[in-house]
Structure formats: C-alpha cells, structure tokens
Amino acid sequence: MAKESSRTLHFLAWFTGVVVSLAVGFGLINGTLVLPGWLGGTSLVGLWITMIVGWIVVVTTLISAVLVAIRS
C-alpha cells in the first residue's frame, strides 16, 4: 500500500512539473512573461531571447515526457 501511494505521489509531482513547465514556456512564447526592462526585456532583442527560451522550455519538456512514456 505504501509503495503504491509513493508511486502515485511521484507521478502527480512529475505531471505537475510538466504542466507548470509548459505553462511557463508558452507564457514566454506569447509574451505574457518577459524579462524586466532593466535586463533588456522591453527591447526587440530581449523579446526574441524570451521567445527562444520559451521554445527551449517547451521542446525539452515534451521530449522528456515522451522519453518517460517510452521508458514506462
């Protein structure tokens, strides 16, 4: 019983991490989340960097989710 509960909790923690990572990644891509102005977030280059980082987060999250599904 304890082992099953631990496995369920582990899955819920992993699933929550995937959802949060995707939410943050898409927030960066859509411009909802940006760098502060003093870090260059209001410039065109800062917006591009933010969008690129968002795509990196989304792609790596999806790759890790697929790898976990393959391994299971």
DSSP secondary structure of 9-51? HHHHHHHHHHHHHHHHHHHHHHTSS---GGGTTTSHHHHHHHH
Answer yes or no: is 2 within a domain: no
Structure tokens at 12: 């819920």
pLDDT of 5 > 90? The answer is no
Answer yes or no: is 54 within a domain: yes
What is the residue-averaged pLDDT of the chain?
Answer: 90
Residue-wise pLDDT tens digits, 10-36: 889 999 999 999 999 999 999 999 988
Answer yes or no: is 4 within a domain: no
Question: Residue 45's pLDDT is what?
Answer: 92
Answer yes or no: is 8 within a domain: no
Answer yes or no: is 31 within a domain: yes
Total structural domains within the chain: 1
Domain region containing 31:
17-71
Answer yes or no: is 65 within a domain: yes
